[in-house]
Amino acid sequence: MTWLLYSLVTVFAFGLYGNLLHSGQLNMADPVAGRYKAFLFVGIAYFLTAVLWPLAILLSQGASWSFPLKGAGWSLTAGIAGAIGAFCILLAFGARGTPAVVMSIVFAGAPVVNAIASMMIHPPAGGLSSLKWQFVAGILLAALGGGLVTLYKPAPAGPAAAVHRTNSEGTLTAGVSSEKR
């Protein structure tokens, strides 16, 4: 059951990711380049946790330094896909998306894409006709759930709720509003 613990830690970390990233972007206090500055620090964090940490583990375990091209290629592609996703989240925030909406779409859509890609890479025994109705219902419910969370997210609380708007150049700014949104 260790896999479940790690999965739940990932759910928690990814669940906080959008809000933390959005806060980083806004607190760069640069409506034009804040998202790029925030992404730079995401890269630094990736370097610390995805380069130095595994390097230390590999060194401490005396691991082989053989990196087969196929494994390295797929791993690099995965890293690029993750970085593109993180960058596009920032771009979505810059285009007036909020963490509640953007991340709901991302985390409802990603399992659907994963299920389809997994079936393409590793087709089910018996083909698509062998899929159980519960699996298909789960995919549809994931998409429906993301849509419902996006459409019916709670409004910001109180008279000092932060609002996000764009300036004349179309870049994201943050302010405080006494109006309810």
Least confident of 23-32, 58-67, 70-79, 163-172: 163-172
CB 118 within 8 A of CB 91: no
Q: If you average pLDDT over residues 75-104, what whole number do you get?
A: 92
The neighbour count for residue 91, using CB atoms within 10 Å, is 13
Has residue 170 got a pLDDT over 60? Answer: no
Contact status, residue 106 vs residue 85, Cβ threshold 8 Å:
yes
Task: Give Cβ neighbours of residue 80 (< 8 Å, ≥ 6 apart).
Answer: none
pLDDT tens track for 17-32: 999 999 999 999 998 8
Q: Which residues of 146-167 are buried (b: 16+ CB within 10 A; e: fewer)?
A: beebbeeeeeeeeeeeeebeee
The pLDDT value given to residue 177 = 41
The pTM of the full predicted model, rounded to 2 decimals, is 0.74
Under 8 Å between Cβ of 42 and 82: no
- Could you give the 3-state DSSP secondary structure of residue 28? coil
Neighbours of 105 (CB within 10 A): 16
What is the number of residues in the chain? Answer: 181
Amino acid at 176: V
Token pair of 83, please? 């970085």
Phi and psi at residue 63, in whole multiples of 5°? -65, 155
